[in-house]
């Protein structure tokens, strides 16, 4: 049976009705005989193992004998209907996704790279691209050490993301920049899914930093009570209790979400349908941060009225190069804007 950690990871996928007709493009909820649950798209069984495609490109094999009687009957139905074979066929162009340690994400200080100082989005994206490179997932297509590759990435990402000194990177430009990087440098190596989510609630944020997912969190920065502007950070981890770990200005930041202003009504100037509740990330390790960080009294706030939210990007690696297949279904992106 899969480990508890994998089950908890997959539990974060978007729910799909177990009463719906079998559909290979939708994630279904499954349960082990001991009651633990997970979600995934069933791809077929071999050697006593049922294969599932989970969120963020994660695949897992589950011992069929550890599933309940009803679940084994569902597997048989999907096999008989051909739905499992269809799902497996759609996923065939891609190899199983690795699950590198997210704590290995490089700590890049944006001030050391690029020709534009207001380059927080390219810096956060470059950290994930370097992480994929260093963990053997997707290579940055230029020789050199981490610093040389970071310089190369910043030069291109500033251009692809239309990053300017005056305004930094807007969310729409960040989305376009991610796609442009893949089109220019990875189109024959990997397919891409990218989307946005402006729901900053702890339970929702906890769904995303799993597997290979690059999670770029837009926050509003304050120096004390003085607003400085919006800022993208690289989100490493998020818990349903509101705990967060992220990289910003070369620092490893940890904190916990706290409601600043509860407002269940969507704001007039924020994302449609998203409650206007403002939350602050209370840092829990300020003593470990540099003196300048503390002296400026830096605060991070997630404010829907500022269009703070996540950009999520996941690569799906082709088994054979060159490849051009569309990315496979992924429950992580159901319902997201892209």
Q: Which of 32, 67, 91 is the last residue of a domain?
A: 91
113 and 78 share a domain? no
pLDDT, the chain, mean: 85
Q: How high is the pLDDT of residue 195?
A: 94
Asked if residue 227 has pLDDT above 80, the reply is yes
Q: Looking at the structure, do residues 167 and 37 belong to the same domain, yes or no?
A: no
Report, as an integer, the average pLDDT of 215-219: 97
- φ, ψ of residue 154 to 5 degrees: the values are -60, -40
Asked if pLDDT for residue 20 goes beyond 70, the answer is no
Closest Cα partner for 194 from 172, 166, 164? Answer: 172
Band of residue 16 on the pLDDT scale cut at 50, 70, 90: very low
Note the pLDDT of residue 55. Answer: 62
Preceding omega of 183 cis (within 30 degrees of 0):
no
Return all residues near 280 (Cβ < 8 A) that are at least 6 apart. Answer: 257, 258, 260, 299, 300, 301, 302
Identify the domain boundary among 71, 91, 111. 91
What average pLDDT does the segment 99-125 reach?
86
Contact of 219 with 308, CB cutoff 8 Å: yes
- Yes or no: say if 14 and 21 are a contact pair by the CB < 8 Å rule: no
Residue 8 dihedral angles phi and psi, to the nearest 5°: -65, -35
Whether 336 is covered by a domain: the verdict is no
For residue 167, pLDDT beyond 80:
no
- In angstroms, the CA 130 to CA 247 distance is 14
State the CATH number of the domain containing residue 67.
Answer: 2.30.30.700
Residue 33 lies in a domain: yes
Question: Cα 66 from chain centroid?
Answer: 30
238 domain residue, yes or no: yes
> How buried is residue 267: exposed, middle or buried, by Cβ count under 10 Å (0-12/13-18/19+)?
middle
Output the pLDDT for position 338: 63
pLDDT at residue number 337: 67
**Looking at the 3D structure of the chain, how many domains does it have?**
2
Tokens standing for residue 233: 């950070």
Give me the helices (H) in the chain, please. Answer: 4-11, 69-81, 83-91, 120-134, 146-160, 171-185, 202-205, 291-295
CATH of the domain at 293: 3.90.70
Indicate if 55 and 133 belong to the same structural domain: no
Of 31, 61, 91, which closes a domain? 91
Q: Are 154 and 119 in contact (CB under 8 A)?
A: yes
Q: What's the pTM?
A: 0.76
- Give domain status of residue 230, yes or no: yes
Residues 64 and 147 both lie in one domain: no
Whose tokens are 């944006």? That residue is 110
Burial of residue 32, with CB atoms counted within 10 A of its CB: 0-12 exposed, 13-18 middle, 19 or more buried: middle
Q: Is 143 exposed, middle or buried (0-12, 13-18, 19+ CB in 10 A)?
A: exposed
Mean pLDDT of 212-225: 95
What's the whole-number mean pLDDT along residues 52-75? 80
Count of residues in the chain: 338
Residue 236 pLDDT: 96
Assess if residue 288 is contained within a domain. Answer: yes
CB atoms within 10 A of CB 171: 20
Residues 110 and 241 in one domain: yes
Confidence of residue 49 (pLDDT cuts 50, 70, 90): confident
pLDDT at position 33 is 81
pLDDT above 70 for 1: no
- Same domain flag for 151 and 178: yes
Boundaries of domain holding 174: 102-331
- Identify whether 221 is part of a domain: yes
Segment holding 29, helix H or strand E: strand 28-31
Same domain? For 76 and 125 the reply is: no
Residue 180: count other Cβ atoms within 10 Å of its Cβ: 17
Q: What is the Cα Rg of the chain in Å?
A: 21
């Amino acid at each position: 049976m899969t480990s508890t950690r994998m089950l908890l990871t997959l539990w974060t996928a978007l729910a799909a009705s177990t009463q719906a007709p079998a559909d290979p493009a939708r994630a279904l909820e499954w349960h082990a005989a001991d009651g633990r649950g997970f979600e995934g798209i069933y791809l077929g069984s071999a050697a006593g193992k049922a294969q599932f495609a989970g969120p963020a490109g994660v695949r897992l094999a589950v011992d069929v004998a550890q599933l309940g009687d009803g679940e084994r009957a569902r597997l048989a139905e999907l096999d008989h209907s051909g739905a499992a074979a269809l799902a497996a066929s759609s996923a065939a162009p891609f190899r199983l996704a690795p699950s590198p340690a997210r704590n290995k994400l490089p700590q890049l200080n944006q001030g050391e790279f690029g020709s534009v100082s207001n380059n927080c989005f390219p810096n956060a994206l470059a950290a994930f691209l370097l992480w994929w490179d260093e963990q053997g997932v997707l290579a940055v297509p230029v020789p050199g050490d981490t610093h040389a590759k970071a310089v190369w990435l910043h030069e291109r990402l500033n251009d692809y993301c239309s990053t300017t000194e005056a305004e930094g990177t807007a969310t729409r430009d960040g989305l376009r920049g991610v796609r442009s990087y893949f089109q220019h440098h990875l189109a024959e190596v990997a397919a891409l899914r990218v989307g946005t989510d402006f729901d900053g609630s702890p339970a929702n944020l906890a769904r995303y930093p799993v597997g290979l997912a690059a999670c770029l969190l837009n926050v509003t920065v304050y120096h004390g009570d003085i607003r400085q502007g919006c800022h993208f950070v690289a989100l490493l981890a998020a818990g349903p209790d509101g705990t967060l770990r992220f990289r910003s200005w070369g620092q490893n930041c940890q904190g916990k979400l706290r409601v600043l202003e509860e407002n269940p009504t969507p704001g007039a100037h924020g994302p449609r349908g998203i409650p206007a509740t403002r939350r602050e990330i209370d840092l829990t390790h300020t003593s470990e941060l540099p003196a300048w960080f503390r002296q400026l009294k830096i605060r991070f706030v997630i404010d829907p009225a500022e269009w703070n939210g996540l950009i999520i990007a996941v690569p799906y690696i082709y088994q054979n190069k060159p490849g051009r297949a569309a990315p496979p279904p992924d429950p992580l992106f159901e319902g997201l804007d892209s």
